[in-house]
């Protein structure tokens, strides 16, 4: 089963998450043992879909709608994964990635963008992105790529969301 992100589809359920604002405490729950993922995406509908999906798959999911908020959050608490949209209102996602890596942050980053040109993929990976997904993408593929990156990060841990055949 694969759910395809549909920009023109019906409205997703209300977004049960908080913006990451300057000064807000990190919401990652390290005691839960669940991996913390930060969704950097300015489109609330897309962010809602991703946050809800990650939570259903056993992640602690937070949302940052702006690049500045994403950098702030990344600098204030451990994240296990960042899903980064390139098209952000305040700065390009590639700039977010460049600043993250320049600061020494090695959190795995999946770059997600509607720009599917080869140049964009190459630039994203050259800047330190770990993976790349073009919109529209299947949520199942995003989960699979997330699991693959987390296996690298936590090789001895059980996958947070279990094998694909147990997804529902």
Contacts to Ca ion by CB under 5 A = 42, 85, 87
Q: How far is the CB of 42 from Ca ion (least distance, A)?
A: 5
Q: Which is nearer to Ca ion, 85 or 130 (CB)?
A: 85
The least distance separating Ca ion from the CB of residue 46, rounded to whole angstroms, comes to 7
**Smallest distance, Ca ion to C-beta of residue 31, A:** 32
Q: Identify the burial level of 166 via C-beta atoms within 10 angstroms of its C-beta, where 0-12 means exposed, 13-18 middle and 19 or more buried.
A: exposed
Query: In the complex with Ca ion, which residue's Cβ is closer, 142 or 150?
Result: 142
Residue nearest to Ca ion (CB): 87
Nearer to Ca ion, 92 or 105 (CB): 92
Distance CA 100, CA 106 (A): 8
3-class SS of residue 147: helix
The answer for residues whose C-beta is within 8 angstroms of residue 54's C-beta and 6 or more apart is 37, 39, 61, 146
């Amino acid at each position: 089963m694969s759910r395809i992100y549909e920009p023109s589809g019906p409205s997703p359920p209300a977004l049960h998450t908080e913006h990451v604002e300057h000064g807000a405490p990190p919401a990652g729950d390290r005691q839960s043992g669940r991996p913390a993922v930060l969704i950097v995406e300015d489109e609330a509908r897309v962010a809602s879909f991703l946050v809800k999906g990650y939570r259903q798959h056993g992640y602690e999911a937070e949302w940052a709608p702006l690049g500045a908020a994403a950098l702030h959050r990344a600098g204030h608490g451990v994240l296990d994964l960042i899903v980064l949209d390139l098209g952000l209102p305040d700065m390009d996602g590639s700039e977010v990635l460049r600043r993250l890596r320049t600061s020494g942050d090695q959190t795995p980053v999946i770059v997600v963008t509607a720009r599917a040109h080869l140049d964009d993929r190459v630039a994203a990976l050259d800047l330190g992105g770990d993976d790349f997904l073009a919109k529209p993408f299947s949520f199942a593929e995003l989960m699979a790529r997330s699991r693959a990156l987390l296996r690298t990060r936590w090789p001895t841990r059980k996958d947070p969301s279990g094998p694909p055949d147990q997804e529902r």
